[in-house]
Amino acid sequence: MDRQPAINIEVFHREDTARCEGMYLKLQRGTSSGDPRHIDSAVRVLAHKAKLNGYAVESDQVGQASSFQIKINLGDTHEDDE
Protein backbone atom coordinates (compact mmCIF):
# COMPACT_ATOMS: atom_id res chain seq x y z
CA MET A 1 0.00 0.00 0.00
CA ASP A 2 1.49 3.32 -1.08
CA ARG A 3 1.13 6.12 1.40
CA GLN A 4 1.97 9.71 0.78
CA PRO A 5 3.43 11.72 3.65
CA ALA A 6 0.98 13.87 5.54
CA ILE A 7 1.03 17.51 4.56
CA ASN A 8 2.22 19.77 7.29
CA ILE A 9 -0.61 21.13 9.45
CA GLU A 10 0.58 24.68 8.71
CA VAL A 11 -0.09 24.12 5.01
CA PHE A 12 -3.67 23.08 5.78
CA HIS A 13 -4.02 26.02 8.13
CA ARG A 14 -2.89 28.53 5.48
CA GLU A 15 -5.08 26.97 2.79
CA ASP A 16 -8.18 26.95 4.99
CA THR A 17 -7.57 30.54 6.06
CA ALA A 18 -7.12 31.59 2.43
CA ARG A 19 -10.38 29.86 1.47
CA CYS A 20 -12.23 31.66 4.26
CA GLU A 21 -10.78 35.01 3.19
CA GLY A 22 -11.83 34.31 -0.41
CA MET A 23 -15.39 33.49 0.64
CA TYR A 24 -15.54 36.58 2.82
CA LEU A 25 -14.32 38.82 -0.01
CA LYS A 26 -16.95 37.42 -2.37
CA LEU A 27 -19.66 38.31 0.16
CA GLN A 28 -18.56 41.96 0.46
CA ARG A 29 -20.85 43.36 -2.25
CA GLY A 30 -23.92 41.86 -0.58
CA THR A 31 -22.87 42.87 2.92
CA SER A 32 -22.17 46.42 1.77
CA SER A 33 -25.68 46.67 0.35
CA GLY A 34 -27.16 45.32 3.59
CA ASP A 35 -28.41 41.96 2.29
CA PRO A 36 -29.25 39.91 5.41
CA ARG A 37 -28.32 36.58 3.78
CA HIS A 38 -24.90 37.88 2.77
CA ILE A 39 -24.34 39.37 6.22
CA ASP A 40 -25.31 36.11 7.92
CA SER A 41 -23.01 34.14 5.63
CA ALA A 42 -20.14 36.58 6.22
CA VAL A 43 -20.54 36.26 9.99
CA ARG A 44 -20.51 32.48 9.68
CA VAL A 45 -17.36 32.58 7.54
CA LEU A 46 -15.63 34.82 10.08
CA ALA A 47 -16.73 32.54 12.93
CA HIS A 48 -15.36 29.53 11.08
CA LYS A 49 -12.08 31.33 10.39
CA ALA A 50 -11.81 32.27 14.06
CA LYS A 51 -12.38 28.65 15.04
CA LEU A 52 -9.68 27.48 12.60
CA ASN A 53 -7.22 30.02 13.95
CA GLY A 54 -7.97 29.17 17.57
CA TYR A 55 -9.43 32.48 18.70
CA ALA A 56 -13.14 31.67 18.51
CA VAL A 57 -15.70 31.79 21.26
CA GLU A 58 -17.38 28.55 22.22
CA SER A 59 -19.63 27.16 19.50
CA ASP A 60 -22.82 27.50 21.56
CA GLN A 61 -22.28 31.27 21.70
CA VAL A 62 -21.89 31.81 17.94
CA GLY A 63 -25.00 33.14 16.27
CA GLN A 64 -26.83 33.83 19.51
CA ALA A 65 -27.67 37.22 20.84
CA SER A 66 -25.72 37.94 23.98
CA SER A 67 -25.61 40.76 26.41
CA PHE A 68 -23.47 41.89 29.26
CA GLN A 69 -23.64 44.51 31.93
CA ILE A 70 -20.93 46.92 33.00
CA LYS A 71 -21.19 48.65 36.37
CA ILE A 72 -19.18 51.80 36.84
CA ASN A 73 -18.73 53.28 40.27
CA LEU A 74 -18.65 57.07 39.98
CA GLY A 75 -18.50 57.86 43.66
CA ASP A 76 -19.24 56.59 47.14
CA THR A 77 -22.74 55.31 46.38
CA HIS A 78 -23.49 52.09 44.56
CA GLU A 79 -26.62 51.23 42.64
CA ASP A 80 -27.32 48.45 45.12
CA ASP A 81 -27.17 50.91 48.07
CA GLU A 82 -29.99 53.09 46.76
pLDDT for the residue numbered 64: 57
Predicted confidence (pLDDT) per residue in 31-42, tens digit? 999 999 999 999
DSSP string, the chain: ---PPPPPHHHHHHHHHHHHHHHHHHTHHHHHTT-HHHHHHHHHHHHHHHHHHT-PPPGGGTTS----------SS--GGG-
Residue 3 lies in a domain: no
Residue 2 lies in a domain: no
Name the residue type at position 66.
S
Residue 1 lies in a domain: no
- Higher pLDDT residue, 39 or 6? 39
The residue range of the domain holding 24 is 9-72
Predicted confidence (pLDDT) per residue in 11-70, tens digit? 888 899 999 999 999 999 999 999 999 999 999 999 889 888 888 766 555 555 656 666
Domain count, the chain: 1
Residue 37 lies in a domain: yes
pLDDT for the residue numbered 20: 94
- Higher pLDDT residue, 11 or 80? 11
